Amino acid sequence: MGVVTAVRRLVMVAGVSMRAVSRVCEVFVGAHDQVGIPSASGVRWWLLRLGFFALHEPLDVADDWAFLIDHSVQIGTLKLCLILGVRLSAWRDSAGPLRHEDVRPLALIPVEQSNAQIVCEQLEQAALRTGIPREIVSDQGGDVKSGGELFAARHPQTALLHDAAHHGARVLKKRFEADPRWTEFLAKLSHTKSHIQQTPDAFLMSPSLRPKARYMNLASLLKWCRKMLCLLDRGADGGAVTARARARYGWLIQFRRAIGEWSRWEATVRHSVEFLRTHGLSRDCEHDLAERLQKRPSAERHQQLEAELAAFAKHQSRSAQPGERLIGSTEVEESVFGKWKHLERQESSSGITSLALSLGALLGHWTEARVQTALEQTPVKKVLSWIKQHLPPSIQSQRRHAFAAANP
C-alpha cells in the first residue's frame, strides 16, 4: 500500500507521467529491493480503480454540502460533467481557498449533449450520495444555470451562486471589448510578435493570451507591458537593449495611459476574486471586500469597479444565513480539470478516454488504509464495466478501426 500511495502522489501531486513512474521508482527503490517496480499499465489501473472507488464510496448525508459543477470538452462531441462536493462545516474553519484534498467527486458523467433537464437529473443523482445540497456553484453557463434553477425550484433550501472568477472575467470582457484602444493594441502586438519571434529580438516577445478564458489571464500580459514601458523609459541608460526595444515597441508609449487604466481594472478584479475565493460569502461580506480593496495602492484601484464588485458580493451573499460561510468560487474544479489534462498528455488527441475516471484519485485525503479499502473493493472488472457503459470508442480507436482494412 505504501508503494501504491507513493505512486499516486508521484502522478497526481508531482505531475510525473505514468511511463516515467517506473524509472523514478528504480532511482529511489534500487535494484536490490524486494518491492516490485510498477509498470505504466499497472499505474494506470491503480489510478482508475482508486477513481472508481472515490465515485462510489459512502458519504455522510447532511444538509451542508456544497456542489461545484462544470463541464469540460476535448475533441469530438463528448463532454464531461464533473460535480464536486464539500461539507461547509468542514471548510468553515479552514484558512485559504479550497484545495484538491478538501473536495470529493460526487458524479463524473460523460454526455453527448447537455440541457437544463439533463443537468437537473445529474444534480439529483449526485444528491443521492449526500442529501440535498445547501448551495450549487457554477460558471452560470446556459445549460448549467437552467438546470440548477430547475433543481432549486424542487429544493428551495438550495442556493444558486455564480463563480466569482467567471463573473470577474465577464466584467473585464465587457470593459475591454468596449475600449477601441484594446483592439488596436492587440493588432499592433500581434504584428510585432510575428516579426520578431524568429529574430535575435525574440527575448522581447510578449506573453500569449489564451484563446479561451483570456480575460481570466490578463495579469502576465499587463505586467509585461509595464516592464516594457520601464525599459523604454531608461533611454540611453538602457544601452543596446533599450535601442532594440524602442525599435520594436516604441509604439507602446502611446498606450501608456491605457495600460495604466487596464492594469487598475485587472488588479481590482483579481483582488476581489482572491478575497471571495479565500473568505467565501457571508453576511455583510461586501463591507469586508470593500475595505480590503480600499487598502490597496492607488495605482491599483478603480473605484467604479470596486463598487460594482462589492454589489456583486452583496447580491451573492444574501443567501447566507447568520454565521454561515458559503463557497463563492469553482476555481478548484478548474484546477482539477487542468491536472487531468496534464495527466492525459498525448491521449487528449483521442478525446475523453478512460483516464477521466482517474480524477477521483486526485481528490480527498488518500491514506494507506483508504487506498487498501479502495483496491480491495474495486476489481478491474468494475472499472471495465464503467468504461463500457459510459464511454464510446475513443477517436484513436475509431481511427484504427476505420483504417484497419486500408492498404495504401
Q: What pLDDT is recorded for position 77?
A: 76
Which of 43-57, 83-97, 228-242, 285-299 is predicted least confidently?
228-242
Is residue 12 situated within a structural domain? no
When divided into structural domains, the chain yields a total of 2
Is residue 381 situated within a structural domain? yes
Give the integer Cα–Cα distance in Å for 343 and 8.
Answer: 12
Say yes or no: 212 and 145 in one domain: no
Q: What is the pTM of this model?
A: 0.88
The tally of CA atoms less than 13 A away on the side-chain side of residue 42 is: 10
Q: What pLDDT is recorded for position 405?
A: 63
Give me 81's grid cell. 460533467
Say yes or no: 149 and 119 in one domain: yes
pLDDT at residue 32 is higher than 60: no
Q: Which of the listed residues 328, 350, 378 is the one where a domain comes to its end?
A: 328
- Is the sign of the CA dihedral 385, 102, 322, 281 positive or negative? negative
Say yes or no: 205 and 278 in one domain: yes
Say yes or no: 234 and 366 in one domain: no
pLDDT (mean) for 319-348: 86
Is the CB of residue 38 less than 8 Å from the CB of residue 25? Answer: yes
Greater confidence (163 vs 142) lies with 163
Range of the domain at 334: 56-163+330-397
Q: What pLDDT is recorded for position 349?
A: 62
Say yes or no: 281 and 348 in one domain: no
CATH number at residue 153: 3.30.420.10
In the chain, % helix, strand, coil (3-state, to 5) comes to 65, 10, 25
Give the integer Cα–Cα distance in Å for 66 and 138.
Answer: 11
Q: What is the pLDDT of residues 181-204, one digit of tens each?
A: 999 999 999 999 988 888 888 888
Compute how many other C-beta atoms are within 10 angstroms of the C-beta atom of residue 100.
Answer: 16
Q: What pLDDT is recorded for position 163?
A: 93
Is residue 386 situated within a structural domain? yes
Q: What pLDDT is recorded for position 347?
A: 65
Say yes or no: 77 and 189 in one domain: no
Closest listed residue to residue 334, CA positions, set 72, 67, 75: 72
Say yes or no: 223 and 318 in one domain: yes
Say yes or no: 110 and 215 in one domain: no
Say yes or no: 310 and 353 in one domain: no
Strands 65-73 and 135-138: parallel
Greater confidence (69 vs 2) lies with 69
Is the CB of residue 266 less than 8 Å from the CB of residue 209? Answer: no
Strand order in the sheet with 79-87: 104-111, 79-87, 65-73, 135-138, 159-162
Q: How confident is the model at residue 33 (pLDDT cuts 50, 70, 90)?
A: low
Give the integer Cα–Cα distance in Å for 301 and 315.
Answer: 22
Say yes or no: 119 and 170 in one domain: no
Q: Which of the listed residues 277, 306, 328 is the one where a domain comes to its end?
A: 328
Is the CB of residue 183 less than 8 Å from the CB of residue 291? Answer: no
Say yes or no: 212 and 257 in one domain: yes
Strands 104-111 and 65-73: unpaired
Mean pLDDT estimate for the chain: 89
Which helix (H) or strand (E) segment holds residue 106: the answer is strand 104-111
Say yes or no: 262 and 252 in one domain: yes
Backbone φ and ψ for 327, nearest 5 degrees, come out as -80, 135
Give the integer Cα–Cα distance in Å for 105 and 333.
Answer: 10
